[in-house]
Amino acid sequence: MGGPEIERLVALLAKLPGFGPRSARRAALKLLQQPELRMLPLAVALAEAARATKACGECGNLDSRDPCSICADLHRDRHLVCVVEQVGDLWALERAHVHRGLYHVLGGTLSALAGQRPEDLSLHPLLARLEAGGVTEVILALGATVDGATTAHWLTDRLKSFDVAITRVGQGVPMGGALDVLDDGTLAAALRTRRAV
Partner 1 sequence: MSEPGLKLLRLTLGRFRNYASLRWQPEGRLLVISGPNGSGKTNLLEAISYLAPGRGMRGARVADVAQGGTGAWAVNGRLATQEGPTEIGTGTTDENVDRRVFRLDGAAPRNQAELAQRVASVWLTPQMDRLFLEGASGRRRFLDRLVYALEPGNARTVAAHDTAMAERRRLLAEPRWEASWLAGLEDEMARHAVAVTAARADLIAQLDAALAGGIAGDFPAARLDLLCPIAARLTEAPALAVEDWLRAEFEAARPRDAATGSAAMGAHRADLAMADLATGLPAAQASTGQQKALLIGVVLGHAALLAQARGGAPLLLLDEPAVHLDLKRRTALFAALAALPAQVFLTGTDAEVFAPLAGQATFWRTGGEGLYADPEYK
Stretch that binds partner 1, among 55-63, 73-81, 99-107, 152-160 (CB under 8 A): 152-160
By CB under 8 A, tell whether 151 contacts partner 1.
Answer: yes
Strands in 137-141's sheet, in edge-to-edge order, are: 101-105, 77-84, 137-141, 165-168
The nearest distance, CB 120 to partner 1, in angstroms, is 12
Contact status, residue 62 vs residue 74, Cβ threshold 8 Å: no
Nearer to partner 1, 91 or 154 (CB): 154
By CB under 8 A, tell whether 145 contacts partner 1.
Answer: yes
Query: Dihedral of the CA atoms 57, 63, 68, 69 (nearest 10)?
Result: 180
Question: Scanning residues 175 to 194, which ones bind partner 1 (CB under 8 A)?
Answer: 182-186, 188-189, 191-192
By CB under 8 A, tell whether 85 contacts partner 1.
Answer: no
By CB under 8 A, tell whether 111 contacts partner 1.
Answer: yes
Nearer to partner 1, 71 or 152 (CB): 152
By CB under 8 A, tell whether 23 contacts partner 1.
Answer: no
Bridge pairing between strands 137-141 and 77-84 = parallel
The nearest distance, CB 100 to partner 1, in angstroms, is 29
The nearest distance, CB 151 to partner 1, in angstroms, is 7
Query: Torsions phi, psi of 138, nearest 5?
Result: -110, 120
Taking residues 118 to 137 in sequence order and writing x for each that binds partner 1 by CB under 8 A, - otherwise, the string is x-------------------
Q: Using CA atoms, how far apart are residues 94 and 105, in angstroms rounded to an integer?
A: 13
Contact status, residue 183 vs residue 174, Cβ threshold 8 Å: no
For residue 19, the SS3 value is: coil
The distance between the two most distant Cα atoms of the chain, rounded to a whole number of Å, is 65
Binding footprint of partner 1 on the chain (CB under 8 A): 20-21, 110-113, 118, 145-147, 149-154, 157-158, 182-186, 188-189, 191-192
